[in-house]
Amino acid sequence: MKTVSYPPSNRFFRSSSLFLPIILFAALQLSPIIASPTSTSPATDNTTESSSYPWKIYKNLDMSTVDIIKKNGYAVEIHHVITEDGYILELHRIPRSKSGQTPTRNHPVFFHHAFLSNSAGWVLSGANTSLSMQLADDGYDVWLGNSRGNTYSRKHVSRNYKQRSYWNFSLHEIGTYDLPAAFDYILMKTNASQLHYIGYSMGTTVFFIMASERPEYQSKIRSQISLAPVAYFTHIRSPIKYIAPYAKMINIAYQRITNGMVLEQTRMRKILASTICVGKMTQKLICQRGIIFLICGSDPLYFNTKLIPMIMGHFPSGTSSMVPEHFAQIKLKGVFGRYDYGPVTNLKRYNSTEPPAYDLTSIQVPITLMYGKNDLVADVQDVMKLKSQLPKLMDAVLIDNPYFNHVDFMWSTEVNQRVNDPIKETLRKTDNMDWKYSGPNLPNSKDISNVSSSVSGASGEVNISSGAGNAGGNDIFDIGSRGHLDITDGGSVNISDSGTVNIGGSAGHLNISISAAVDVGGSGNVSGSGGSGSTGSGAPTDLDYFTKNLGKIIADAMPRPVDRESDASDFGRERVLQEKLLADAIEFVRSVQKKYGSTLTWQESSTIATGDHRKIEHVVTSPNDG
């Protein structure tokens, strides 16, 4: 079997250590959206590989979203809309099919990208696998959004993007200002009363914020489809969760160094993308295994690396340093809530020292969730928690592929079969003018054990393996005098609110092994003589802990071998590489903490709307325009 030899010296990793923690920190949404699209046909292949020379720059690396759409034979329009607080957003529209057919469907479709990404992510893989282009061919009027601060939406009516005041926004502003402005404009231009919303990763987060904070817009959404939905990070398995305690410090550092702009797209990054991520060995070791698989989950079978250079040419696309800190706050607090400015400013803004939580139960929009077992960012258990709070859930689709990770939702080689086709079917149903929500179509998942009342018995036994048991509200796990609760092989029990695990008698047992865990929150408790529970955020604040347990942390993030004999050895090599890379990231964080830790102080800030600035402008281009 072919093996991969690693550099005998760690000097290479030392030289690149500056970039590694930044990339990891940026992926706090993880999403983290560093990935490769699927293979495409020669007619729509967006790469030009004329040489195996590792430093050759890809011909199409600089292609914009508009250029990519035109290259694939579609008409495209550029539209601009101004939000209530003055940010100028750029929307990209595919107004008709490749054959030139105008839209025949009843409602337009709006796409929103992930963290640090932009509209290019929806079209990079070409017409064969791009959901946006396929929907245009199916008769939909397709619109691609760009959040404030990214490559395409970096203008403001009165501020310059180099000013600190420009970058003074979090997830909340994207959800409450950007989305409503885009919706109003699209519905006006198309003369429609509702639209379909498709969000990926952070694109789902900001939708949930919008729907809970701006309820008047719920009636404008015909249906919503969430790919890799993110609202909670309690069970996030990606190693980036260990950076969360340092997010505030990193935010302050960025405020001082760049006025709050984080990971903008630059020429240098494009050059690195066209060199490091093109060479066969460096692409596999660094771009694929050392970054993508480490953050998002290893998928050795269905993840296609063909377009990695072009992806990295568009990613990262820039945002405010407050955005990743907002994600980190959600992780650390265990609450899907508004941005925490600190007690003083919170009191002024929220009339409370703690920021309020978003009310997911108030969202009266038909929603479909799609999630994967091997998604290290949007963990199955967190998706189940989200699902339980959505009153108009249409469906919760677990992708039937054990390796399906966070980025496979857009760029897996099986994306048509696993993602695109089911979405098309959902849209065909909900786009019908006579369709009305009639209740959920919930799957029977063997991976989740939801306790609705109690599990009890003197000799009863509850076995949870590679799954989860959730005890919430007044739910109870009652284990009698000879009962056993065995949690093995990555299983976990979540005890929240007034949930209880009672272990009675001298022979009662709570066995926790391998990477299993018991999370106790709220007024939940574990009582008796046979077990134990762990509380807290799950993210230690001591780098010594991280250093000491680095091997186990990375091993826990790897998927279990399923059906390939080589999986175990492949994953073993990945673990070795990831441990080297992350060790250098830790060293960098230590150096920053040592240099700035004693002087960094929290700078409270605010974002103030500047009135109604919803001016509109647009430019129309065609596939044949220069």
SS (H, E, C) 300-321: CCCECCCCHHHHHHHCCCCEEC
**What pairing do the DSSP bridges indicate for beta strands 509-512 and 484-488?**
parallel
- 84: its two tokens: 């209530």
DSSP 146: -
What are the beta bridge partners of residue 82? 88
The model's pTM is 0.72
Confidence of residue 615 (pLDDT cuts 50, 70, 90): very low
**120-129, 247-256, 403-412, 567-576: the lowest-pLDDT one:** 567-576
Mean pLDDT of the chain, nearest integer: 74
| N-terminal to C-terminal alpha carbon distance within the chain | 50
At 142 the pLDDT is 98
Residue 281 pLDDT grade (very low, low, confident, very high; cuts 50, 70, 90): low
Q: For 231-240, 296-305, 410-419, which range has the lowest pLDDT when averaged over its residues?
A: 296-305
User: At residue 225, what are phi and psi to the nearest 5 degrees?
Assistant: -120, 120
What is residue 570's predicted lDDT score, i.e. its pLDDT? 65
- Residues in contact with 327: Cβ distance below 8 Å, sequence separation at least 6, in sequence order: 28, 29, 115, 171, 205, 233, 244, 247
Residue bearing the bigger pLDDT, 426 or 285: 426
Q: Omega into 324 within 30° of 0, i.e. cis?
A: no
User: Are 510 and 485 within 8 A, CB to CB?
Assistant: yes
What pLDDT is stored for residue 463 in this prediction? 43
Model confidence at 503, pLDDT cuts 50, 70, 90, reads: very low
Are 80 and 89 spatial neighbours (Cβ–Cβ below 8 Å)? yes
Average pLDDT for 291-306: 68
Check residue 576 and give its pLDDT: 72
CA pair distance 484, 510, nearest whole angstrom:
6
Q: Report the candidate in 490, 398, 386 with the shortest Cα–Cα distance to residue 446.
A: 398
Find the mean pLDDT for residues 57-72. Answer: 80
Mean pLDDT of the region 237-244: 84
Average pLDDT score over residue span 234-263: 90
Nearest Cα residue to 376 out of 316, 280, 298, 491 = 298
Question: From the centroid of its chain, how far is CA 451?
Answer: 28
CB contact at 8 A, 469 and 446 = no
pLDDT above 50 for 175: yes
Confidence at residue 265, expressed as pLDDT on a 0 to 100 scale: 72
What distance in Å separates the CA atoms of residue 174 and residue 179, rounded to the nearest whole number? 7
pLDDT for the residue 539:
43
Q: What is the pLDDT of residue 568?
A: 66
- Is pLDDT of 45 > 50? no
Say if residues 249 and 13 touch (Cβ distance below 8 Å). Answer: no
Q: Express as a percent the part of the chain with pLDDT over 70.
A: 57
List residues with catalytic annotation: 201, 406
Query: CA neighbours within 13 Å on the CB side: how many for 489?
Result: 9
Burial 12-49 (b: 16+ CB within 10 A, else e): ebeebbebbbbbbbbbbbbbbbbbbbbbbeeebbbbee
pLDDT of res. 288? 61
Structural contact between residues 386 and 231, judged by C-beta atoms closer than 8 angstroms: yes
CA distances from 384 to 24, 329, 369, 380, 438 (A): 26, 20, 10, 6, 21
Q: Is the distance from CB of 246 to CB of 254 less than 8 angstroms?
A: no
Q: What is the mean pLDDT of residues 248-275?
A: 82
Q: For 328-350, what is each residue's pLDDT tens digit? A: 999 999 999 999 999 999 999 99
Closest CA to 297 of 221, 351, 240: 240
**Average pLDDT in the 135-162 region?**
96
What pLDDT band is residue 295 in, cutting at 50, 70 and 90? confident
- Predicted local distance difference test score (pLDDT) of residue 557: 62
Tell me which of 537 and 29 has the higher pLDDT. Answer: 537
Q: Which stretch of 216-230, 272-286, 397-411, 446-460 has the lowest confidence by average pLDDT?
A: 446-460
What is the DSSP secondary structure assignment for residue 407, as one 8-state letter?
S
Q: Who has greater pLDDT, 561 or 413? A: 413
Least confident of 228-232, 262-266, 440-444, 552-556: 440-444
Q: Which of 439, 500, 435, 444 is nearest to 474 (CA)?
A: 500
10 Å CB burial of residue 159 (0-12, 13-18, 19+) is middle
Quote the pLDDT of residue 466: 41
Cα–Cα distance for residue pair 518/492, rounded to 1 Å: 6
Q: Is the pLDDT of residue 520 over 50?
A: no
Estimate to the nearest angstrom the gap between the alpha carbon of 128 and the chain centroid: 24
| Other residues' Cβ atoms within 10 Å of the Cβ of residue 487 | 25
Q: Which residue has the higher pLDDT, 442 or 291?
A: 291
CA distance 361 to 359: 5
Q: pLDDT by residue (tens digit) across 413-435?
A: 899 999 999 999 999 999 999 99
* Residue 268 pLDDT > 60: yes
> Please, which residues bridge with residue 454 across strands?
476
Q: What is the pLDDT of residue 133?
A: 97
What is the pLDDT confidence band of residue 551, given thresholds at 50, 70 and 90?
confident
> For the chain, how big is the Rg over CA atoms in Å?
24
> Tell me, what's the pLDDT at 405?
86
Residue with token string 């796409």: 111
Place of tokens 């859930």: 393
Chain position carrying tokens 């790469």: 47
Q: Which residue has the tokens 């929907």?
A: 135
Mutual angle of helices 247-258 and 567-596, in 10-degree steps:
60
Which residues lie below 8 Å from residue 98, measured CB to CB, with a gap of 6+? 72, 73, 74, 127, 133, 136, 137
Query: What confidence score (pLDDT) does residue 597 get?
Result: 57
Q: How far apart are CA 113 and CA 318, in angstroms?
A: 13
Cβ atoms of 284 and 292 closer than 8 Å: no
Give the confidence band of 316 by pLDDT, cuts at 50, 70, 90.
Answer: confident
Whole-number Å distance between alpha carbons of 584 and 590: 10
**pLDDT value at position 407?**
86
User: Both tokens of residue 79?
Assistant: 């539209």
- Of all residues in the chain, the percent with pLDDT exceeding 90 is 46
Top-confidence residue, 11 or 98: 98
Could you tell me which residue, 14 or 187, shows the higher pLDDT? 187
Backbone CA torsion sign across 185, 607, 33, 419: negative
pLDDT class of 284 with cuts at 50, 70, 90: low
3-state helix, strand, coil in the chain (%, to 5): 35, 15, 45
Which pLDDT belongs to residue 386? 97
* Number of CB atoms found within 10 A of residue 3's CB: 7
pLDDT of amino acid 104 = 97
Beta bridge partners of 617: 80
Q: Residue 120: which residues within 8 A CB-CB, separation 6 or more?
A: 64, 65, 68, 314
For residues 195 and 197, what is the distance between their CA atoms, to the nearest angstrom? Answer: 6
Mean pLDDT of 160-188: 97
